């Protein structure tokens, strides 16, 4: 199981969330859960928005906890929105092109989960990708195909709807091939202004997703941190697992739910649908 996190708010140094909390994303990549056989050591990535409309990305096929370049970068940049990911490969090679976030123009995408029976479904899924998007697929993961299917099905105009149509298409393809529960996902999506997330699975077991209740949740991690005390109330973090055990800091997002994180975050039902 991969893990990821996203942040939207006043510009901060990503290290504050990626390295410093007791259960930071980097710490989680080493101390995998009791139900997981391996740590998240199959690569890492960071995508962030700064001076350009197009986000910058960093990918490494090294384990996150030992990558000094990643640590330096997380301590050097300052960004109002970023997505970070630590990867546990699900049968695809350990290589930079398979590391998240994936990028298309202003968009960034991360995923935790899998398409069950991907080897069986891969050809049909790839053939459905819009021809002008096809050259943007650089790796071999199901996650990257999911992103490009969502783009094909209207993500740029309707982000949550594009994700829902992607999910519906994958489930239809799975049903046609006899795959009972084809989709497991929490996804993060960003365009430089809004941060989106969704939690969904075809079956009863759904990977977890959390959001900080308010900016106070982030401030509580570092009560002595002067810069964080000045972060405005609209700052939010969304992530696979909480960064601390502090009560009242993290709210679990229900299954079949999408988040739209602006200055006033809100959630809505996530309902897979067939593309038109």
DSSP letters, 26-67, are HHHHHS--TT-SS-S-S-EEEEE-SSSSSPEEEEESS-GGG-
> Average pLDDT of 21-44?
66
Report d(CA 149, CA 172) in Å as an integer: 13
Task: Compute the residue count for the chain.
Answer: 276
Please tell me whether residue 99 adopts helix, strand or coil conformation.
coil
Name the pLDDT band for 40 (thresholds 50, 70, 90). Answer: low
pLDDT value of position 39: 57
pLDDT value of position 246: 67
Q: Return phi, psi of residue 251, to 5°.
A: -110, 125
> Average pLDDT of 45-58?
94
Name the pLDDT band for 27 (thresholds 50, 70, 90). Answer: confident
Q: Return phi, psi of residue 25, to 5°.
A: -60, -40
**Chain centroid to CA 87: how far?**
11
Which domains are present in the chain?
3-269 (3.60.20.10)
pLDDT value of position 33: 47
What is the tens place of the pLDDT at every residue in 86-119? 976 666 666 789 999 999 999 999 999 999 999 9
Query: Looking at per-residue confidence, does 16 or 124 come out higher?
Result: 124
> Average pLDDT of 235-258?
87
Report d(CA 21, CA 24) in Å as an integer: 5
Task: Name which of 119-128, 137-146, 210-219 the model is least confident about.
Answer: 210-219
Query: Looking at per-residue confidence, does 258 or 37 come out higher?
Result: 258
Residue 260: how many other CB atoms lie within 10 Å: 17
> Which of 61-70, 162-171, 233-242 reaches the highest mean pLDDT?
162-171
């Amino acid at each position: 199981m991969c893990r990821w996190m996203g942040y939207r708010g006043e510009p901060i140094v990503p290290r504050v969330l990626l390295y410093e909390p007791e259960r930071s994303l980097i710490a989680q990549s080493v101390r995998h859960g009791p139900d997981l056989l391996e740590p998240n050591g199959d690569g890492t990535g960071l995508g962030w928005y700064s001076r350009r409309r197009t986000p910058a990305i960093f990918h490494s096929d090294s384990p996150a906890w030992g990558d000094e370049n990643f640590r330096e970068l997380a301590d050097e940049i300052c960004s109002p929105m970023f997505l970070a990911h630590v990867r546990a490969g699900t049968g695809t090679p350990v290589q930079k092109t398979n590391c998240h976030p994936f990028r298309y123009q202003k968009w960034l995408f991360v995923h935790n989960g899998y398409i069950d029976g991907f080897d069986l479904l891969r050809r049909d899924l790839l053939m459905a990708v819009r021809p002008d998007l096809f050259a943007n697929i650089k790796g071999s993961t199901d996650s990257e195909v999911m992103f490009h299917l969502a783009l094909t099905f209207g993500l740029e105009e309707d982000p949550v709807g594009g994700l829902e149509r992607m999910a519906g298409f994958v489930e239809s393809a799975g049903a046609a091939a006899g795959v009972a529960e084809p989709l497991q996902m929490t996804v993060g999506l960003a365009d430089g202004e809004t941060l989106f997330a969704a939690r969904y699975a075809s079956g009863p077991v759904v990977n977890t997703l959390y959001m900080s209740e308010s900016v106070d949740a982030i401030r509580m991690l570092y009560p002595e941190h002067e810069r964080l005390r000045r972060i405005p109330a609209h700052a939010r973090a969304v992530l696979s697992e909480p960064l601390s055990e502090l009560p009242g800091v993290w709210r679990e997002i229900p299954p079949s739910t999408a988040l739209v994180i602006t200055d006033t975050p809100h959630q809505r039902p996530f309902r897979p649908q067939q593309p038109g």
